[in-house]
Structure 1
């Protein structure tokens, strides 16, 4: 993003709101985005203990009529026919080679299929949908906020009656301080929390309403990245791309039983073959000895110095106070406990394959202890 001119960037509905609260703005996904306010580590820890407010309005929100189910199933490996209303599901937009064009959330609503896609890929995603004959509306005038952390639901429940009754991956329409909102109990931090779709014109009023609670602080992209890394969640464009299959990415849960049996989705031949035979490489998490993080692009070597993989995400974990990362290694090296050698700028580091997530998820699942 370093070569992007300031004048080429879009502004979020809350652009002035972020700047007025000290947000340091950087280019991301074609937008001016706040990377931090008081500091990444402080914001990370606040979200893990209280409630962090994230502006993710750069992401694409799309609504397709319910009669587009068959067309969507040609692109996504999920069983849309079996989906219940207001139960969001994680899914993948695939190409014919079985690669991942994007990862997304899809929900059956009374008014259609509601998709939330990544900001950097949203226009390309819509081109793919059009080429496949999928009818849809781009909800360009909707903002998207995420309130994450152990106190997040208590905060929003004070302004939106009924939200506290949602379980993880449940959603519904609510009145939030007089604003019509679509709220799902979901997020990408590993914490309990909600994502809130509202008209862009109401974004500032809703953000002020939530921030008025002393348990809430604004959180930037930096902490969002460290939180999702601790949670073992892949980031598109880094841990996932159009050359990566769902099997290699360890996202098998996104390919439902009926679809495995019937196929019929983009890249099914390759993906189903990998399911049966196993992938050549797989996504793993790893810890690193010492204190220095190993960053994206670092090589992963075997005992003889041969390259057997690459780091795709890396950083220092504020929760474990140690460097962690994710990457792809030859499948036979993917078992937890396997020793790895990591090479970054000519310096070698010792790593160990770890079980994901690095920090336990704290989603609110009904009938289970959070």
Structure 2
């Protein structure tokens, strides 16, 4: 075998536990985050619209599922994240950010107080770097476990609670950003009421040996259809949820990324986490660009990398963009110089040598429909 053939073999994407299942369901597979993943089944728009009206099943098993345990695990994790973890109640979830010394975003993640340990879900493309970062900075007394034999399914849509309650009783009592341990056919599964679509929904962590049984049980319900990466991306764009590697990177920070809610107010003064000095400097006016929303006229979308203009001056660039099936026109997220971020500002985006009119609009583009406590 030649060196080139060896390199290609080494770089071949991994297969999901449900790989054969996706193909049998008609999924078109593409490389993504080191895995072969379904981008669509019957079509991106059809899957997008079905998620908005009924329930879609997404396979997100490429994500990294980790746990941290040991004395003072929460306090040690707080040294790496800008928000509070030690005050997180059992079964509660929190969005957070891994930062470097300069306040750059290594990854965004979800932390859950799972009782005996902290559960972390990190992005698939970043998980090995995240694990290395955590191992480097956590003391030896903290045990970090990677559950690489567990799959993760996301059930998303307005009918998700009714569907999942019929299969896993008790999950309907969860509210947005809460989680718990349940049973599916006498097997323990970890269920959280969260997701990446802006719709109500759940993520179910289950051993790879039982995931096909769960997937089959879910799609046996006529309200549920499988959906791929394409619809997941258009839904998260409408929800204005940033995607690491596109809207977030080491070159972005919590302030410019419009994620200051992930910086605990108490810790803005006390600090104590990696990247604190740089983050506070930007909070005090040291950030020059901000992630904002743009609505475009017509039907031609602006994609990642397109330049944003005010008159003849280039004032920013698009990081995510596409046509919004729900709104019926293109939308985009972009980093734009602060003087041009005020809502209602008229700008232009250059697409294929042509300037498209755009206007700054608030996040999210489509209202979130999370099932919050007390709602």
Which contiguous aligned blocks of 4+ residues in structure 1 show a shift greater than 4 angstroms?
Answer: 3-7
* Superposed displacement of residue 177, structure 1: 3.4
* In structure 1, distance between residues paired with 2:128 and 2:8: 17
* In structure 2, distance between residues paired with 1:322 and 1:278: 34
Mapping 1:45-194, distance limit 5 Å = 45-67=49-71, 68-134=73-139, 135-194=143-202
* In structure 2, distance between residues paired with 1:133 and 1:180: 29
* Superposed displacement of residue 180, structure 1: 1.1
> Do the aligned residues in 1 keep the contact of 2:109 with 2:120 (CA within 8 Å)?
yes
Mapping 1:192-341, distance limit 5 Å = 192-277=200-285, 279-303=287-311, 305-341=312-348
The secondary structure found in structure 1 opposite 2:210 is helix
The secondary structure found in structure 2 opposite 1:191 is coil
> Do the aligned residues in 1 keep the contact of 2:319 with 2:335 (CA within 8 Å)?
yes
* Superposed displacement of residue 159, structure 1: 1.4
> Do the aligned residues in 1 keep the contact of 2:176 with 2:373 (CA within 8 Å)?
yes
Q: What's the TM-score once normalised by structure 2's chain length?
A: 0.95
Per-residue CA deviations over 1:198-251 (Å, capped at 9, x if unaligned) read: 101111000001111000000000000000000011001000001101000001
The secondary structure found in structure 1 opposite 2:83 is coil
RMSD: 1.4
* Superposed displacement of residue 6, structure 1: 9.2
> Do the aligned residues in 2 keep the contact of 1:226 with 1:317 (CA within 8 Å)?
yes
Per-residue CA deviations over 1:314-367 (Å, capped at 9, x if unaligned) read: 000000111001010001111110111111231111100111111110000121
Mean Cα deviation higher: 327-336 or 118-127: 327-336
Q: Residue 344 of structure 1 is aligned with which of 346, 351, 355?
A: 351
Match of 1:9 in 2: 13
Stretches of structure 2 lacking an aligned partner (at least 5 in a row): 1-6
Per-residue CA deviations over 1:254-307 (Å, capped at 9, x if unaligned) read: 11122112111111111112112252100001011111000000001121x221
Structure 1 residues 66 and 169, CA, compared in 2 at 3 Å: closer, same or farther? farther
> Do the aligned residues in 1 keep the contact of 2:77 with 2:138 (CA within 8 Å)?
no
> Do the aligned residues in 2 keep the contact of 1:91 with 1:254 (CA within 8 Å)?
yes
Mean Cα deviation higher: 212-221 or 132-141: 132-141
* Superposed displacement of residue 66, structure 1: 4.6
Structure 1 residues 248 and 106, CA, compared in 2 at 3 Å: closer, same or farther? same
* In structure 2, distance between residues paired with 1:182 and 1:327: 35
Mean Cα deviation higher: 276-285 or 305-314: 276-285
Q: What's the TM-score once normalised by structure 1's chain length?
A: 0.96
* Superposed displacement of residue 78, structure 1: 1.5
Mean Cα deviation higher: 99-108 or 251-260: 251-260
